[in-house]
Amino acid sequence: SEPIAAASIAQVHRARLAGTGEEVAVKVLRPGIERAFQKDVDAFYLAARMIETLSPSSRRLRPRDVIAHFEGVVLGELDLRLETSSADEFASKTAKDDGFRVPKVYWFMSGRRVMTLAWANGIASGDVAAIEAAGHDRRELGERVLRLFLSHALRDGFFHADMHQGNLKIGADGAIVALDFGIMG
C-alpha cells in the first residue's frame, strides 16, 4: 500500500500475506536513512569539537560524549531487528494484561530494515470523537493507560517508553493496542 504512517526514519505499509490472506503492518526504513543519519552525526561531532576548541570550559559538559550517546540510540532504532525483539518481548510480558494487546510479531518476515506485525484494527487514541461514538469511556481508558504503564515499568522492568496517542489504538472491545516499539525502557 501507500504509506499509512510515517515517522522520521521509517514508514508503515498495509499488506496481505500471500499464503493466508492475513493483513499485516510492514515497517520499512526510509531509503538512504542510514547515510543521511551518518552525515548529520558527523556534523554534530564537528560542532562538538569546535565548541570544545573555542570554549574549553564546555569540555566539562562532554559534548562529544553526548553525541556518542545520541548516535548509539539512533543506530539502535535503525536496526528493526531490535524493535522486533522488543515487540516480541513486550507481547510476552504483557500477554495476561487484561485490556491490553501487542500485535503478533512475524519474525520470518522481519529483518534489519523491515519489521512485520499483525495488522492492529482499532480507533486512533487521539480520535476523541470516534472513541466516544464507539461508547468507550475516555476517563477509564486514560486511567488504564497509566495503570498499565506503571505495571509494566514496576512489575516487568520493561515498558513502552513512547506511549503517546499516535502509538496507541483502541480495539473494538476497548482493549488498548500498543504500536511502535522503537523506544522501550
The answer to whether 83 and 77 are in contact (CB under 8 A) is yes
**Catalytic residue flag (residue 162):** yes
Indicate the DSSP class of residue 157.
S
> Which residue in 98, 137, 162, 180 is the catalytic one?
162
Distance from C-alpha of 144 to C-alpha of 78, rounded to nearest angstrom: 31
Strand ordering across the sheet containing 23-29: 3-6, 10-16, 23-29, 114-118
Q: How far is the C-alpha of 83 from the C-alpha of 85, rounded, in Å? A: 5
Say if residue 118 is exposed, middle or buried (CB neighbours under 10 Å; 0-12, 13-18, 19+): middle
User: Which residues are known to be catalytic?
Assistant: 162
